[in-house]
Amino acid sequence: MELLDLARLQFALTTGVHWLFVILTLGLVPIVAVMHTSAVRARDPDTRAARERMTRFWGQLYVINYALGIATGLVMEFQFGLNWSGLSKFTGNVFGAPLALETLIAFFAESTFLGMWIFGWGRLRPWAHASMIWLVTLTAYASAYWVLVANGYMQAPTGHVIRDGVAYLTDFAALLTNPSALVALGHVMAAALLTGGLFVAGISAHHLLRGRGEFRGPLRSGVLVAAVASLAVYVAGALQYPLLATTQPMKLGMLSGGAGVAQAQRAMEAAHGPGDYIPPHWTVWGQYVMLWLGYVLGLVALFAVIIAFRDGLARRRSVAVLVTLLAALPAGEFAGGIAFGEAGPHRLPIYAAVALLMAAALIYGDRLTRPLHRLLIFAIPLPFLASVGGWVLRETGRQPWIVYGELTTAQALSPGVGYGTMLTSLLSFALVLGALAVTDWTLIIRYARRGPHAAHLGQPAQTRPTF
């Protein structure tokens, strides 16, 4: 393994592990915000107390993941200067500002609002306190936007000129509205909500199997969020393929097969000189993992909605028929994707079969409840695997470019970094990040099993609200 490969592996490790924290943070925080708002709006004291317990329970899991996730992200910023000084020198004038804004938002604004929410129980007025978690949500997604602005520039450079081998920003609006960033942001937001929804549904299913009926509401909320998000993931993902035809034809040719790769290779050689511009062949497996798991999770979420809400639907037969027929439309697309690798073939018979299965699930839902709960528990890690597949596809699919068509990864590598230094830092990061990931999920599992009554977050304070 060469020095460049070690540097790429190190950045892939740090970015990939950090992303597993981020996707749960983005997916869980709006659900917690909705729960807190629901608790504040409740007029009945018992209902408010029950909803506050749930808010503290899910909020505690969110805080655990957030705190350890921040630690995994610290090393990423330093790598731009340590391992990839060529990238910093070439693009620092362009995407330095988005990265700086992301740091300000994530490490200052978001953390400040989260601290006020954590320590504001019993100290802030209820509506002011609930607004803090909504501000955390807003800044979390704003932070994701700025990261994807920088990444979108690397995927499809825009709004700049190159003078003396250095990129200079000329159109800030073009940078902010780069389609490669905006479409990816929609995809990431939807994937995060799918992850958060299934996380809530899976943990709720664990408690329902143990007879804790208070988790019936969170399970319904989780599967409903996951079902809606699965549709958004499907749409946002599909929108990215036409975009690749103009921004990264090599990646699209590799994914599509046929003569597209050879045509893109000839075009690259004509524009940039002789060389191998074909990404690693295993990149396509990222697409397979992302698509197949996405189809499976979408199908599971839609069937789970039918089963979880069957009692209410059974009392309104016309509504039940309408919901079943509508839910079968995307479910049929997902089933076709699982069976044939794409949603197109045999659409009508697949739709009819899925609609009949959903009707059966609605009728015989009592028998399917416990198997569904076990399935939802098993599904908790699957969105994380799907998102890693999508990340591999997006990042390695543009190789050998780090800034597509402008700067290769070999040119971006810092000069003078020794092989031993790179290997040592890689092993050190692997050890530290592995320990953080294990600690995160150990704590999440421990506190998730204990339930709301054991949550430490938001214990009543002695002081009365003064704001």
Q: How much is the pLDDT for 223? A: 93
Task: Give the whole-angstrom CA distance, residue 107 versus residue 296.
Answer: 36
Task: Give the whole-angstrom CA distance, residue 259 versus residue 92.
Answer: 37
Residues 6 or more apart whose Cβ sits within 8 Å of residue 186: 232, 236, 239
Torsion of CA 241, 245, 249, 253, to 10 degrees: 60
- Please state the pTM of the whole predicted model: 0.91
Task: Give the whole-angstrom CA distance, residue 342 versus residue 16.
Answer: 27
Tokens of 419: 């092989």
| Helix, coil or strand: residue 414 | coil
Angle, to 10 degrees, between the axis of helix 283-308 and the axis of helix 317-340?
160
Q: Which residues of 360-394 are buried (b: 16+ CB within 10 A; e: fewer)?
A: ebbeebeebeeebbebbbebbebbbebbbbbbbbb
Radius of gyration of the chain (CA): 24
Beta bridge partners of 408: 401
Residues 6 or more apart whose Cβ sits within 8 Å of residue 167: 90, 91, 93, 94, 157, 160, 161, 403, 406
Q: Show pLDDT as tens, one digit a residue, over the chain (467 residues).
A: 788 888 888 888 888 888 899 999 999 999 999 999 999 998 888 888 888 889 999 999 999 999 888 888 777 777 777 788 888 888 888 888 888 888 777 778 888 899 999 998 888 898 999 999 999 999 999 989 988 998 898 888 888 888 888 889 888 899 899 999 999 999 999 999 999 999 999 999 999 998 888 899 999 999 999 999 999 998 998 888 888 888 888 888 887 776 677 887 788 888 788 888 888 888 888 888 888 898 899 989 988 888 888 877 777 878 878 888 888 788 888 888 787 777 666 778 888 888 888 888 888 777 888 888 999 999 999 999 999 998 888 888 888 888 888 888 888 888 888 888 888 888 888 888 888 889 989 999 999 998 888 778 877 655 555 55
Beta strand extents in 340-397 (DSSP E only): none
| Helix, coil or strand: residue 170 | coil
Residue reference for tokens 């599971």:
300
Task: Give the whole-angstrom CA distance, residue 232 versus residue 32.
Answer: 20
Task: Give the whole-angstrom CA distance, residue 286 versus residue 152.
Answer: 19
Decide if 146 contacts 105 (C-beta within 8 A): yes
